[in-house]
Amino acid sequence: MAHVVQDIKLIPNAEAFTFIPISAFTKFLDSWNVIPKNLKPFQLHPEDIPKCDDNNDVNFEECMTEHMLKFTRNQFKLLGFESGWIYNTSRVIEGRYVNLLESLNINMKHFAIGPLHPLVRDVGIKSKHQSLEWLDKQKKGLIHELANGLDECEQKFIWVLRRADSSDIFAQENGRLGEPQLPQEYEEKVKHKGIVVRDWNRDIGP
């Protein structure tokens, strides 16, 4: 997704973070292998990088199609402006490799927030989180509550409002997907301490 957010480097008070969906072990090994032996910044413990067998190291390029390799390389060309990396793992599971990545990239911030996985609901099994059940029971008008909260907190803000989920094409055809409704004259009222943006334009370059 790097090509989608590459213009964020033009915003002086914004930071970008790269999400690493693979394991920290895989990320470290991939980063380590591209560094020439005479330029490696430190020595590894023999147990840090296991071998596939007695003779061959891991070669990830052999595990990917040419199309995926080309896509990945093109994404990396657009990186370099991020402030840190977010890993799909936890330090309890892969703390050794998160620490190694921190040592290898000392100018980056490193966050392990996983493991993340998609929510899959099984019929007949109660799998919905209690917070979502609570939210489903609330009355309509949440946007008004959020608007009032932003107004009263007296903090600077940018609030991006979008339409409801547009995956229902029939709702679009029947006009059931309207603009989010704010309190009357709200945008004029908060113009000195906040910005309300409707349907955020992805092209945010100059």
More confident residue, 33 or 167: 33
In this structure, the number of other CB atoms found within 10 A of the CB of residue 131 comes to 8
Chain center to CA of 17: 7
Helices 24-33 and 91-104 cross at an angle (nearest 10°) of 20
Q: Indicate if the pLDDT at residue 54 is higher than 80.
A: no
Residue 43 scores a pLDDT above 60? yes
* pLDDT tens by residue, 141-185: 778 888 888 888 888 888 887 665 554 545 554 554 556 677 878
